[in-house]
């Protein structure tokens, strides 16, 4: 680390180390589960969101700490992949990331204990599962991201367990059915996997060099691109099926389908972009955007039903 760096520059580096732009995903998915419940208790919402954000920050700091060698070997990072670049660039000592991860884990644990008193012991189990999967994504001994299991684990945490937590914290006897939760989380879960495939393509060479066997490393870029296309198609084919099975209100399915033209463009583009280093930034950015836009459309349709004419 450059010891001549100023306190403000170190603070900015620490903020970037936490990758704050990605925190929006946890907020969005927790909000989606909350909205699906049909009821709202402010204190439970705020405490639940605090726990989710603390554990998400834990994950970001831990990823940069445990992926240090991989990030150093990565010569094609983007703003969305390859880590925050704070540690490889020497802006902060590596130990700062581990200390921050452990501090965030402590905040998550304390918040989980408070929620257990307010909402029941099940919250401890739910948040412990989220924390364990999030930590073991990059940390040994499991290091799921290096075994081709990180994509599934991330989708399970971010797009299934987090919205389920938001839903369950608000749910009341005789309230909203969990069927709508199932209907709503399938497209984001599939798009989360697609997003991870897209952002792993720029990292593939560095990951392979360090023995980090992500799905993209295991499959190769071409087959990973085809898998991206397949899961993206499935995400949008699910919407009319979910509406027909009454798993989703028709207005929510219609809203979630609005980004489908963007999805079609990206499906066509990934066959080209996965081979073009100059397209890596576009590849990663639009994969993130597609997930966020689809989940956000679902949330808006739930919160503001008057915007949609479909019943």
Cα separation of the two ends of the chain: 58
- Return the number of other C-beta atoms located less than 10 Å from residue 309's C-beta: 8
CA 51 to chain centre: 15
Instruction: Give the pLDDT score at 174.
Output: 63
**Does pTM surpass 0.85?**
yes
CA 172 to chain centre: 27
SS3 48: helix
SS3 149: coil
CA 127 to chain centre: 16
Give the residue from 75, 103, 76 showing the smallest Cα distance to 18: 103
Helices (H) and strands (E) in the chain, counts: 15, 0
Q: Which two tokens stand for residue 74?
A: 């990565």
Burial class (CB in 10 A: 0-12, 13-18, 19+), 217: buried
List average pLDDT for each run of 10 residues in the chain, which is 311 residues long.
Answer: 74 96 96 94 97 98 97 93 95 97 98 96 96 97 96 97 96 77 97 97 94 96 96 98 95 97 96 92 95 97 70 36
Instruction: Give the pLDDT score at 310.
Output: 39
CB 198 within 8 A of CB 284: yes
Scanning 120-259, the segments in alpha helix (DSSP H) are: 122-138, 150-156, 162-170, 179-200, 204-209, 215-219, 221-244, 250-256
CA 260/CA 21 separation, integer angstroms: 23
């Amino acid at each position: 680390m450059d010891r001549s760096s100023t306190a403000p520059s170190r603070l900015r580096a620490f903020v970037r180390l936490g990758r704050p732009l990605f925190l929006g995903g946890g907020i969005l998915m927790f909000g989606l589960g909350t909205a699906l419940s049909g009821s709202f208790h402010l204190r439970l919402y705020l405490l639940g969101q605090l726990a989710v954000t603390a554990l998400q920050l834990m994950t970001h700091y831990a990823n940069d700490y445990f992926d240090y060698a991989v990030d150093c070997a990565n010569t094609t990072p983007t703003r969305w992949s390859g880590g925050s670049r704070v540690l490889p660039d020497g802006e902060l000592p590596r130990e700062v990331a581990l200390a921050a991860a452990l501090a965030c884990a402590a905040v998550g644990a304390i918040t989980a204990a408070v929620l257990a008193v307010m909402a029941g012991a099940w919250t401890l189990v739910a948040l412990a599962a989220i924390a364990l999967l999030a930590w073991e994504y990059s940390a040994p001994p499991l290091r799921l991201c290096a075994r081709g299991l990180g994509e599934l684990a991330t989708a399970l945490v971010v797009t299934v367990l987090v919205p389920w937590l938001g839903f369950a914290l608000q749910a009341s006897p005789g309230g909203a059915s969990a069927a709508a939760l199932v209907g709503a989380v399938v497209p984001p879960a599939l798009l989360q996997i697609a997003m991870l495939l897209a952002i792993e393509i720029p990292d593939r060479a560095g990951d392979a060099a360090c023995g980090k066997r992500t799905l993209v490393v295991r499959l190769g870029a071409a087959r990973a691109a085809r898998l991206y296309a397949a899961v993206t198609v499935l995400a949008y084919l699910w919407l009319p099926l979910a509406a027909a099975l009454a798993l989703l209100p028709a207005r929510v399915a219609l809203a979630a389908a609005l980004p489908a033209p963007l999805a079609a463009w990206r499906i066509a583009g990934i066959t080209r972009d996965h081979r073009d280093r100059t397209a890596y930034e576009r590849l990663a950015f639009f994969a993130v955007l597609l997930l966020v836009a689809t989940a956000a459309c679902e949330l808006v349709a739930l919160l503001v039903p008057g915007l949609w004419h479909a019943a």
